[in-house]
Amino acid sequence: MKRLICILMTLALALAAFGGCVPQDDPDAPPGVQTPPDGTEKPSDDEQTPGEEDQTPSDDEQTPSEDDEQTPSDDEQEPPQEEAYEYDAVIDGVDYGTVQEIEYYSEVAGGTKHATVLLPPDAQPGERYPVLYLLHGLMCNERTWFDMCSAAQIVRNGSLFEGARKMIVVGVNSIVNADEKAPSMMSAELTEVYDKTGEEIVSVLKPYIDANYPTLTGKYDTAVAGFSMGGREALLSGFWNQDVFGYIGALSSASFNKNIVSIGVSDPVLNEFVIEPEHGGFAYILLNIGRLDFMTGGVTQRYDSMMTEAGIEHDFYTTSGGHDFSTWKDGLHTFVLNIFGAGKSAGKTNS
């Protein structure tokens, strides 16, 4: 039912000129087999293409050594040999784990909150893992990344075949109030509720996850990413809590306007991106957007320019898609290949 509600909000969001959970894939297709449309464009070599060389797994990645903790163990599956590899596909014989649904009490929300958790299927006793917090768009929830964006497949395939780190993935519910019901999109209260996401993670959810799961807890073991309104919250959570998050992924980000149903820059909650040097900066920041995205306008392009002018290292690229799941799955794939010491974040560690 929640998934159906998420899909039905497409028309409402279009009328509001802002995108949240707007699927263009077949809503009846099973999770993990929705693939981006042919012709999805990645940036060229001079456009800061994160993870491009990792798209096709090498022989070394397919047959890892026993000493490499970031690659699969002997009992894990080899990548398919007779068919094209798709990063978001369900590959025969691969265990993608089970998404756990949890609930916890939140002092920030003033009520019971819900989240989803996915552990590496081959997690070993005594091993600890970095954590990726995933944030959803408007009229979606803590399950959307797994149900509609193939997050389990993208993360697992990335670790098995493309050199990504094994990680714990947490789906966050960004409707931070007592009943997890979003205010009207025309209400200023809407952004106030969503903008508590960073506080919710840092003060309540992360401590809960760290206390109940085998996590690595350092700044460079903690990442946050989201699509649409979740992209806004990933940026706000990261820049407002630079001592906690080492990586940010903002995919088709919404604006920072207090009234989200508005055009241009109007009373933003964040006016500029500033790095706090005492916290060491970010190891990796990713911005992406579909060229057919007519719902968030030039927001992501503006953030790219703001970061460039501020001298903040980041990656930005466009896809041929729109404000849709193909763009966000592509962004997540790029992101997981470049966090927790993999890809462009190699060498960045907790001090």
How far apart are the C-alpha atoms of 155 and 164, rounded to whole Å?
8
For residue 231, being part of any structural domain is answered with: yes
Neighbour count for residue 257 (Cβ, 10 Å): 20
For the beta sheet containing 100-106, the strands, ordered from the edge strand earlier in sequence to the opposite edge, are 100-106, 111-118, 168-172, 131-135, 222-227, 247-251, 284-290, 315-319
For residue 68, being part of any structural domain is answered with: no
pLDDT for 275 beyond 50: yes
For residue 104, being part of any structural domain is answered with: yes
* Window from 13-27, 75-89, 116-130 with minimum mean pLDDT: 13-27
For residue 213, being part of any structural domain is answered with: yes
Confidence tier at 88 by pLDDT (50, 70, 90): very high
Query: What is the percent of the chain where pLDDT is above 90?
Result: 68
Check the CA dihedral 312-315-321-325 and report its sign: negative
* Contact between residue 284 and residue 132 where contact means Cβ atoms under 8 Å apart: no
pLDDT per residue as tens digits for the range 336-350 = 999 999 999 987 778
* Window from 31-40, 68-77, 253-262, 321-330 with minimum mean pLDDT: 31-40
For residue 119, being part of any structural domain is answered with: yes
* Contact between residue 174 and residue 194 where contact means Cβ atoms under 8 Å apart: yes
How far apart are the C-alpha atoms of 51 and 291, rounded to whole Å?
20
Q: Which residues span the domain enclosing 219?
A: 2-49+83-345
pLDDT at residue 138, as a whole number:
94
pLDDT at residue 69, as a whole number:
43
pLDDT for 78 beyond 80: no
For residue 309, being part of any structural domain is answered with: yes
pLDDT per residue as tens digits for the range 125-152 = 999 999 999 999 999 999 999 999 999 9
For residue 197, being part of any structural domain is answered with: yes
Q: What is the CATH number of the domain that holds 335?
A: 3.40.50.1820
Total tally of structural domains belonging to the chain: 1
